[in-house]
């Protein structure tokens, strides 16, 4: 029995989730499966993706398709929709979740990885959204959830490109949400604070202050996925999970810019501060 959507009547029937092999994407896939949604899961980590897909299909008796592909490549978004077309399926939900971080002073950080990040966070998300909207069934309710970050609210020293991509995604999402006011499409931007996923370790950031769980609250991917799913279903255009994180989001709205950038610098610095090459 599918869980009813209070606002619009029905939960998604087929959802695309990117970055679905790990962390929040994996938790979103599970959240969607518990609500009866079929899935197209996309991630570059093929073996982990297959393992997760097999578990979900078995536990929740939903259809789970996978695409092991790199979203920094220009043709990956089109491949996802070609796969659906080939299967005769139309997605009614898109979860743009894949992402990663690159840490260090911009002068010394890895430009190739930063460009890859812009491709994944900004370009692939734009492509997937355009394809999803173009191919949607307008008789159904359609939903896009973009995973940005609380990082969207302030410039981020030592993670300058990452924070900038997050601001791009928030702005893009809010503009789309307004364009689609009172139509068949809901667009929601999820802005989590720190989460307990492999994200910090992958980026070599476990000694950054933010990772400590204070002053921002570190949440589990499962809790964030549950709250993010609910926010999407309730038609919230932007959602920051966690009361303490919402307090910081509010402060970011009202604090003078120089003050919030200094705070961001402090919280994104290593416990042994970044002095030079890093």
Ligand X SMILES: NC(=O)c1ccc[n+]([C@@H]2O[C@H](COP(=O)([O-])OP(=O)(O)OC[C@H]3O[C@@H](n4cnc5c(N)ncnc54)[C@H](OP(=O)(O)O)[C@@H]3O)[C@@H](O)[C@H]2O)c1
Cβ 120 to ligand X, closest distance in Å? 4
Binding characters for ligand X, 184-213, by CB under 6 A (x = yes): --------x-xx-xxx--x-----------
Considering beta carbons, is residue 37 or 72 the nearer one to ligand X?
72
Is there binding between residue 242 and ligand X (CB under 6 A)?
A: no
* Pair 234, 256: CB distance under 8 Å: no
Considering beta carbons, is residue 94 or 141 the nearer one to ligand X?
94
Pinpoint the alpha helices (H) of the chain: 23-34, 46-60, 76-87, 111-118, 125-135, 160-179, 199-202, 221-233, 243-254, 257-268
Block residue for tokens 């518990």: 34
Is there binding between residue 19 and ligand X (CB under 6 A)?
A: yes
Kindly determine how many residues on this chain lie close enough to bind ligand X according to the rule CB under 6 A: 27
CA-based diameter of the chain, in Å? Answer: 57
Q: Which two tokens stand for residue 217?
A: 């609250």
Q: Using alpha carbons, select from 277, 155, 267 the residue that is nearest to residue 212.
A: 267
Residue 142 sits at φ, ψ, to 5 deg, of: -120, 145
Is there binding between residue 100 and ligand X (CB under 6 A)?
A: yes
Cβ 86 to ligand X, closest distance in Å? 20
Which of 98, 152, 159, 185 lies at the binding interface for ligand X (CB under 6 A)? 98
Considering beta carbons, is residue 198 or 273 the nearer one to ligand X?
198
Residues 216, 218, 222, CA angle at the centre, nearest 5°?
140
Choices 41-49, 176-184, 246-254, 260-268; region in contact with ligand X by CB under 6 A: 41-49
Is there binding between residue 71 and ligand X (CB under 6 A)?
A: yes
Choices 77-85, 93-101, 107-115, 242-250; region in contact with ligand X by CB under 6 A: 93-101
- Beta strands 38-43 and 238-239, pairing class: unpaired
Is there binding between residue 31 and ligand X (CB under 6 A)?
A: no
The long-range contacts involving 121-127, CB below 8 angstroms and separated by at least 24 positions, are 121/162, 121/165, 121/166, 121/168, 121/169, 122/165, 122/168, 122/169, 123/74, 124/18, 124/71, 124/72, 124/76, 124/77, 124/96, 124/98, 125/96, 125/169, 125/172, 126/172, 127/74, 127/77, 127/78
Which of 70, 184, 223, 234 lies at the binding interface for ligand X (CB under 6 A)? 70
Which of 14, 56, 94, 147 lies at the binding interface for ligand X (CB under 6 A)? 147
Is there binding between residue 165 and ligand X (CB under 6 A)?
A: no
Is there binding between residue 43 and ligand X (CB under 6 A)?
A: yes
Which residues are at the interface with ligand X (CB under 6 A)?
19, 21-25, 43-45, 70-72, 97-100, 120, 147, 149, 192, 194-195, 197-199, 202, 221
């Amino acid at each position: 029995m599918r869980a009813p959507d209070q606002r619009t009547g029905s939960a998604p029937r087929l959802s695309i989730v990117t970055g679905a092999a790990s962390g929040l994407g994996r938790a979103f896939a599970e959240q969607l499966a518990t609500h009866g949604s079929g899935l197209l899961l996309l991630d570059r980590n093929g073996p982990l993706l297959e393992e997760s897909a097999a578990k979900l299909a078995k536990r929740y008796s939903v259809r789970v398709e996978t695409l092991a592909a790199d979203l920094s490549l220009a043709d990956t978004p089109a491949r996802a929709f070609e796969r659906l077309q080939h299967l005769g399926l139309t997605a009614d939900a898109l979860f743009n979740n894949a992402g990663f971080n690159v840490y260090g002073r911009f002068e010394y950080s890895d430009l190739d990885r930063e460009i890859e990040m812009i491709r994944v966070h900004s370009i692939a998300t734009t492509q997937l959204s355009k394809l999803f909207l173009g191919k949607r069934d307008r008789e159904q309710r359609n939903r896009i959830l973009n995973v940005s970050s609380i990082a969207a609210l302030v410039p981020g020293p030592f993670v300058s490109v990452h924070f900038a991509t997050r601001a791009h995604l928030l702005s893009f999402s809010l503009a789309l949400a307004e364009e689609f006011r009172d139509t068949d499409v809901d667009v929601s931007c999820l802005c989590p604070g720190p989460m307990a996923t492999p994200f910090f370790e992958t980026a070599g950031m476990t000694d950054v202050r933010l990772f400590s769980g204070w002053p921002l609250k570190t949440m589990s991917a499962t809790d964030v996925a549950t709250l993010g799913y609910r926010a999407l279903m309730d038609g919230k255009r932007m959602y920051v999970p966690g009361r303490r994180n919402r307090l910081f989001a509010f402060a970011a709205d009202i604090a003078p810019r120089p003050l919030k950038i200094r705070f961001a610098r402090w919280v994104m610095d290593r416990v042994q501060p970044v002095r030079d090459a890093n």
